[in-house]
Structure 1
Amino acid sequence: DIAPTSVLAGGGADVVLDWMPSALASREKGLPLVNIAQPFKSSGMMLTCRKDAGISSPEDFPGKTLGVWFFGNEYPFLSWMSHLGLSTDGGDDGVTVLKQGFNVDPLLQNQAACVSTMTYNEYWQVIDAGLTPEELVVFKYEDQGVATLEDGIYVLEDKLEDPEFVDKMVRFVRASMKGWKWAEENPDEAAMIVLDNDNTGAQTEEHQKRMMAEVAKLTAGSNGALDPADFERTVESLLAGGSDPVITQHPGEAAWTHMITDKALN
């Protein structure tokens, strides 16, 4: 339960994987994060709701309890609620936010009308727990017009002045993207690598193969280089958050660079 940005700020890592809303919010607060690569092209985030809780569209959200992840993952949700004009501090006119662990228990136990899920993971936990797709209604952030960039690779700005560090990142990004593209083409083999390295025994072959098949849809279309148009779309979505936007000003082009991917991918 630690935000990647906190680890980077504390010197516990040279590089982190984070979602862009979290990274840009941290940058605005003074942590000079820079996106050096963007493996995920599209968003896998969604809100999965029980129909029997009276949810059929976002218009049904007021007065309901919605499960939300924190540690940086709350920003896309808060931006969406702001777009809808809904407060997130309860009441009949707003929504009550339930701080959700990285599981779907609140939905299964009727503690929340909806929970945050990813297309590749938690949605399938709901299905595996016994609820059917017919009993659920799903709101994909992509479909709601509030999708923001997810898994990207970030470093601190001043590190990019060190040629040795830059060389290390070039090799890291090259290897990462080579791995992702191999995994897209060989999803079953990629799933088995995860299982072979799962010391807990908690993972199943079916779930990992399903996860890889869904993640492949999100990495498809990205060679690892950030598309500036996707960056602008994310920034616009975050800035347009009504009275309570996730960021209050455009972060500028210093928030991302192609210096690593230009060397890594060409």
Structure 2
Amino acid sequence: MKHSTKYIGSAIAIVAASALALTGCSSPSGSGSGSGSSGSSGALTPVKLQLQWFSQAQFAGYYAALKEGYYKDEGLDVTIVEGGADIVPQDALTSGDVDYAISWVPKVLGSIEQGAHITDVAQIFERSATTQISFKDKDITSPAELKGKKVGSWGYGNEWELFAGMQKDKVNVNDISLVQQAFDMNGFLSGDIDAAQAMTYNEYAQVLETTNPATGKLYQPDDLNVINWNDVGTAMLQDAIWADADRLKDDKAYGDTTVKFIKASIKGWVYARDNAEKAADIVTASGSQLGQSHQLWMTNEVNKLIWPSTDGVGMIDEKAWNQTVDIAKKTKNETGATIISADPPKDAYSNEYVKKALAELKDEGVDVMGTDFKPIEVTLKEGGK
């Protein structure tokens, strides 16, 4: 499965040769365990986390938790396993290669219907980052105005908010020219795509890092129209922490580890909120190939998806979950298929573990709401340097 957070370039091609695993301890970690706890000897419980993609600030909170020692404070020896073009995080989880995985909810719902028994134990991103962007001269400000246009889509499970928004505005897939969009913005910039998919934290910035040939300066937000699926009402839940449902049921130690892992991860995201520049630097130091200004932009935009939090970071909102499931059941793609045909099982998500983690964090005086959060100002440089 491919993901929409890809930043295409020669640097990524170099990284794609092999996924890097980062560990919080000097000793090598074995296969995914997540069971057991640190004993009197001070031994740490080994835990493996599978990311959706290569190291980038989309995952800043986990890297911050690793670097700042939050996982170790909870008795965990965490290894972050980077993703790649052919890695499906939920498959790595169900096969037992890792203990936890980061993935979008709609993508996992399809896997669950196919037999994967995993649980969303913490919904880190409260808001969707997917948009459809166009240049102002195309006069596209709503899904209805996509009719008759060349509309870009990555596919691979990233298209459902777009199709749901179109169907809400009575635009059929046959009413547009659907373009298979590459994981860059070249087709959009060349005019081959009128309205392109773009994550707020990645591809949107790629456009703003490009020189406008008409002005000789970088493109500006005022040059673009943005359809935001949160505003349209077809947003779907994205980055979540997934755990093995069978192990949660049968292995108390794994359940305890899950609380500890969520707690430390949230603490990492709090660090990224309060120290965006430092968090971006931590991700860069982990081996990410993205430029400095792009990395900081990504950290800042991802923070907007998390903060302020409605009920506490990681809490799964029933209304948002139901909306995601409803879209997954009713929205059809260009082949007439839907993501799922029936409601997922009740254990597809659980707030049990995140509630415990949040309670401990609150007792320690950690701000898990971010009510006063204000994003920083980020100046992008050409090429994201």
TM superposition score category, shorter chain reference: 0.7 to 0.9
Number of the residue aligned with 1:163 = 252
Number of the residue aligned with 1:78 = 163
Equivalent residue pairs, number: 260
Number of the residue aligned with 2:381 = none
Report SS of the residue matched to 1:30. Answer: coil
Paired AA for residue 201 in structure 2: Y
Distance 2:288 2:193 in 1: 32
Alignment equivalent of 1:145, drawn from 233, 247, 254: 233
Deviation at 1:114, TM superposition (A): 1.8
Report SS of the residue matched to 1:41. Answer: coil
Distance 1:12 1:239 in 2: 30
Residues 181 and 199 (structure 1 numbering): CA distance in 2 closer, same or farther, change over 3 Å? Answer: closer
Q: Which has the higher contact order (CA 8 A, sep 6+)?
A: 1
Deviations along 1:51-82, one digit per CA (max 9) or x if unpaired, are: 34453432232333322234432333333344
Paired AA for residue 152 in structure 1: A
Residues 99 and 125 (structure 1 numbering): CA distance in 2 closer, same or farther, change over 3 Å? Answer: closer
Paired AA for residue 106 in structure 1: G
**Unpaired stretches in structure 1, ≥5 consecutive residues:** none
Q: Are the counterparts in 1 of residues 272 and 299 from structure 2 also a CA contact under 8 Å? A: yes
Residues 59 and 138 (structure 1 numbering): CA distance in 2 closer, same or farther, change over 3 Å? Answer: same
- Residue 178 (structure 2) pairs with residue 96 (structure 1): yes
Deviation at 1:214, TM superposition (A): 1.7
Number of the residue aligned with 2:8 = none
Number of the residue aligned with 2:273 = 184
Deviation at 1:179, TM superposition (A): 0.4
- Residue 144 (structure 2) pairs with residue 59 (structure 1): yes
Question: 143-152 vs 226-235, which deviates more?
Answer: 226-235
Alignment equivalent of 1:134, drawn from 210, 218, 222: 222
Deviation at 1:203, TM superposition (A): 1.9
Q: Are the counterparts in 1 of residues 128 and 230 from structure 2 also a CA contact under 8 Å? A: yes
Residues 210 and 223 (structure 1 numbering): CA distance in 2 closer, same or farther, change over 3 Å? Answer: same
Alignment equivalent of 1:216, drawn from 296, 299, 303: 303
Paired AA for residue 306 in structure 2: T
Deviation at 1:127, TM superposition (A): 0.9
Distance 2:207 2:330 in 1: 32
Number of the residue aligned with 2:72 = none
Q: Are the counterparts in 2 of residues 174 and 265 from structure 1 also a CA contact under 8 Å? A: yes
1:102-113 map, 5 Å: 103-113=184-194
Distance 2:154 2:244 in 1: 25
Paired AA for residue 283 in structure 2: V
**What's the TM-score, normalizing by structure 2?**
0.61
Distance 1:79 1:199 in 2: 33
Deviation at 1:207, TM superposition (A): 2.2
Number of the residue aligned with 2:326 = 236
Question: 181-190 vs 160-169, which deviates more?
Answer: 160-169
Q: Are the counterparts in 2 of residues 18 and 154 from structure 1 also a CA contact under 8 Å? A: yes
Q: Are the counterparts in 1 of residues 329 and 342 from structure 2 also a CA contact under 8 Å? A: yes
Distance 1:63 1:26 in 2: 33
Deviation at 1:257, TM superposition (A): 1.1
Number of the residue aligned with 2:62 = none
More helix by percentage = 1
Paired AA for residue 57 in structure 1: S
Number of the residue aligned with 1:120 = 201
Paired AA for residue 322 in structure 2: E
**What's the TM-score, normalizing by structure 1?**
0.86
Number of the residue aligned with 2:93 = 8
Deviations along 1:79-123, one digit per CA (max 9) or x if unpaired, are: 3344344444xx5x234131432x222211222112211222221
Deviation at 1:138, TM superposition (A): 0.6
**Unpaired stretches in structure 2, ≥5 consecutive residues:** 1-84, 212-218, 360-385
Residues 158 and 78 (structure 1 numbering): CA distance in 2 closer, same or farther, change over 3 Å? Answer: farther
Number of the residue aligned with 2:9 = none
Q: Are the counterparts in 1 of residues 134 and 225 from structure 2 also a CA contact under 8 Å? A: yes
Q: Are the counterparts in 2 of residues 83 and 241 from structure 1 also a CA contact under 8 Å? A: no
Report SS of the residue matched to 1:143. Answer: helix
